[in-house]
Structure 1
Amino acid sequence: MAVGAVLGAAALLFLLLDILPGAGGTDRPAWVRFLGLFTGDTGAPNTLGERLAVTLPLALLALVIAGAVGTGLGLAAGRYRGMVDGLVRALSGVLALLPPFWLGMLLALLFAALLKLLPASGFVPWSNLPGALASLLLPALALGLPYAGQLALRIRRDLGSVAEDDVQRLRAQGVAASAARWKLGLAGALPELPQAMARIFGALLIGAALVESVFFLPGLGRQILGAAEQHDLGLLRGGLLLLIMVAACGMLLLALLRVLVDPALRAEWRR
C-alpha cells in the first residue's frame, strides 16, 4: 500500500503539473522528467535535501511531543477517574482544537519575546546541535501539542471501551474491578497506538508548512508553498513527492510497530 501510494502520487503529480504552462524542463523526454521526481531532479538547481533536513527533524520532534504528552494525558485520564479525568479531558479538548500556527505565535510571544528563553525565528545549522534543537523546540511544540490532545482523547476513549463481560471474567479470577478495567483497557488501547502515531506523523509533515512560515524556518514545507506562489511547477512537484515519500515511509514503519505490541499479530506473524 505504501509503494502504491507513492507511485500513484507520482503519476498524479506528473500528469497534473507537467502539462501546465511553466512546468519547466519540457525539452527533456517525459520519462526522464518522471524519473526525475524520484531523484530530486526538478530541471533546475534545488535545495530539497537541505530543506528536508529541517522539516523531518521538526516533524519527528513534534511526534515525540505528541506521543509523550498525549499518551501521558490519556493514561492519566483512564487511570484516575473523577476530577483528574475531567480536567485531563478538558485540557485535551482545548489542545485538540488549537490551530498550530496560532499556538506557535502564542508560544513565540511567551517564550521568545517575554521570557527570552528560546529563539522566535530562524534556524541554527546542525553543526551547532544545541542551537538547532532550540530553533525547533517552539515550532515542534506548536505542531505537536494539538495532536497530543487528539491522541489523549483517543486513548481515554479506548481505555473506557471495555466489555463488562470481560471485567466480570477477571473479577471471577480474583482481580479487583478497577484493576480489571485498567488491564483490559490497556490491552485494547496499546495495540492501536502505533497506527494512531502513523496517521499523526503524516499530518505533522503536512502541517509543518504553516508552522515553518510562522517561525521562518528554511524547511521543505515552506519551500513548497514558495514554489506554488512563484509558479515553479518543477520544484513544486519534486517537493510534494519527496514529502509524500517521507510520509509514506514513516507511516509504514510506525504501523509495523504494531507487530511488537499486539500479541495477536505477533502470533499470526510467527505462523
Structure 2
Amino acid sequence: MTALILKRILSLLITLLAVSFLIYMVMGLLPGDPAAIMLGTSASPDTLAALQKQMGLDQPLALRYLHWLAAMLRGDLGQSYTYGVPVAGLIFERLAVTLPLAFMAVSLSILIALPLGVMAARYRDGPLDFASSLFSHAGISVPGFWVGLLLILLFSTTLGWMPAGGFPGWAAGFGAALKALVLPALALAFSQAGVLTRVCRSAMLEVMNEDFVRTVRAKGISEMATLWKHVLPNALIPVVTMIGLQFTFLIAGAVLVENVFNLPGLGRLAYQALMQRDIVVMQSVVLFFCALVIIMNFLVDIAYLFIDPRLRGRAR
C-alpha cells in the first residue's frame, strides 16, 4: 500500500507541474499588456518600456514561467498589480472566509443528505422516497445564488434574524463571524445536498441487493441496524467521491454566492481580479483551484483504501 501511495504522490506532483505550465502559458497569451493597464493610456512609451522591464514582461514567456515557478516554490506568488501587495497574502486572507464557508456547506450537505438518502432507500417508492426525490430535483435545478436571495429575503429582510451580507472578520468574535456565514452556507448546501441524496440513495439500493445483506437480515438483525452498520459503510465509495467533488466545487464555484452576500472570499477575489485584469492574481487563484481539485482527488483515492478492504488487498 505504501508503494501505491508513493505512486499517487508522484502522479500528483507531475500533474501539478503540468497544470501550472498550462495555466501560465494561457494567461501569458491573453490579449492586453498588464503594464499598459497599470499606467493607463496616457503613459509615455519610455515609461511603459521601463515598467515592462521591471515586471519582466520583456523576457520570453517560457523564461518568465521558469522564474515564476522558482519563486512559487519559495512561496512567492508575485505582487498584485491592482492591490500592490503580495498575492500569497491576499489568497490566505480570503481563505479565512472561503474555507470555513466550504466546510460549513459540506457539513450541512452531509447532515441533510445521508439520513435522507438512507431513509429514501429504506422506504423505496414510498412517500418519503417521493419527498426526497422532490428535494433532490429542487436542489439540482435551483441555482445557489437564487436560494441565497430567497434566504436573505426571508431571514434578513422579513424576520431580521440573520445579517443580509458582509463579513465582520474573525477578530469581531467567533459568533458574529459564524452568523455571517450561516445563510451563504445554507445556500451552497442546498444544491449539494440534493445531488448527494441521489447518490447516497442509489448506492444504498445497489448494496441492499447483495448476498451479505440477506445473510445479515437472516441473522435477525433489525432493518435500521442493517442499513446503518452494514449497508451504508459498503455504499460509501460513491458518496465519498461526491463529497470530494463537492468540496472542490464549493471552493472554486462560490463566486456568485460570495458576491450575493458580499463576502470577501476567494471567489470574489477571482471575480475582482478578472474585472481588473490582474493577471498575477488570476493565475495564482486559478492554480490554487486546480491544485485543490488534484489534491482532493488524491485524498479521495487514499480514503478508498481505508473504506474498502478489498482495495487494500489489491494494493498489497
TM-score by length of structure 2 reads: 0.76
**Residue 136 to residue 36, structure 1, CA distance change in 2 (3 Å):** farther
Partner of 2:44: none
Given that 2:166 and 2:262 are in contact with CA atoms closer than 8 Å, whether structure 1 keeps it comes out as yes
Is 1:134 the counterpart of 2:145? The answer is no
* CA distance in 2 between partners of 1:229 and 1:172 (Å): 60
Q: Indicate if the aligned counterparts of 1:37 and 1:237 stay in contact, CA closer than 8 A.
A: no
Greater relative contact order (Cα < 8 A, sep 6+): 1
Segments of 4+ in structure 1 off by > 6 A? 176-181
2:136 alignment partner in structure 1: 92
Structure-2 residue corresponding to 1:124 = 168
Equivalent positions of 1:21-170 (< 5 A) are: 21-23=32-34, 25=55, 26=57, 30=64, 31-37=66-72, 39-44=75-80, 45=85, 46=87, 47-81=90-124, 82-127=126-171, 128-162=173-207, 164=209, 166=211, 170=215
Aligned residue type for 2:170: W
Deviation of 1:75 after TM superposition, in Å, equals 1.0
Q: Is the 8 A contact 1:121 1:217 kept in 2?
A: yes
Q: Which amino acid aligns with 1:208?
A: A
Q: Distance in 2 between matches of 1:169 and 1:212?
A: 48
Residue of structure 2 aligned with 1:204, choices 244, 250, 263: 250
Cα distance 1:137–1:180, how it changes in 2: closer, same or farther (>3 A)? closer
How many residues end up aligned between the 2 structures?
A: 270
In 1, Cα distance between equivalents of 2:246 and 2:13: 19
The one-letter code matched in structure 2 to 1:132 is A
Which runs of structure 2 are paired with 1:171-210 in the superposition (5 Å)? 173-174=218-219, 182=227, 185-210=231-256
Which range moved further: 258-267 or 178-187? 178-187
1:12 to 5, 22, 42: 22
Aligned to 1:240: 286
Note closer, same or farther for the CA distance 1:9–1:150 as it changes in structure 2 (3 Å cut). same
Distance 1:168 1:73, change over 3 A: closer
Larger radius of gyration: 2
One-letter amino acid of the structure 1 residue matched with residue 203 of structure 2? D
- SS of the aligned residue for 2:170 comes to coil
CA deviation after TM superposition for structure 1 residue 187, in Å: 4.9
Structure 1 residues 175-198: Cα deviation after superposition (integer angstroms, max 9, x where no partner): 589679847743541233222211
**Structure 1: runs of 5 or more not aligned:** none
Identity %: 31
2:106·2:243 contact (CA, 8 Å) conserved in 1? yes
Q: Which amino acid aligns with 1:194?
A: V
**CA RMSD of superposed structures (Å):** 2.7
Question: What SS does the aligned partner of 1:216 have?
Answer: coil
Please tell me the residue identity of whatever aligns with 1:95. G
Corresponding letter in the other structure for 1:73:
L
Q: Whole-Å Cα distance in 2 between the matches of residues 167 and 245 of structure 1?
A: 40
Q: Which runs of 5+ in 2 are unaligned?
A: 1-10, 36-54
Would the aligned equivalents of 1:171 and 1:177 in 2 still touch at CA under 8 Å?
no
The amino acid of 2:79's aligned partner reads G
When structure 1 is superposed on structure 2, of 181-190 and 30-39 the one drifting more is 181-190
Question: How far, CA to CA, are the matches of 2:297 and 2:96 in structure 1?
Answer: 18
Provide TM-score, normalisation by structure 1: 0.87
| Residue deviations 1:38-60 (CA, integer Å, cap 9, x gap) | 53523332412101221122111
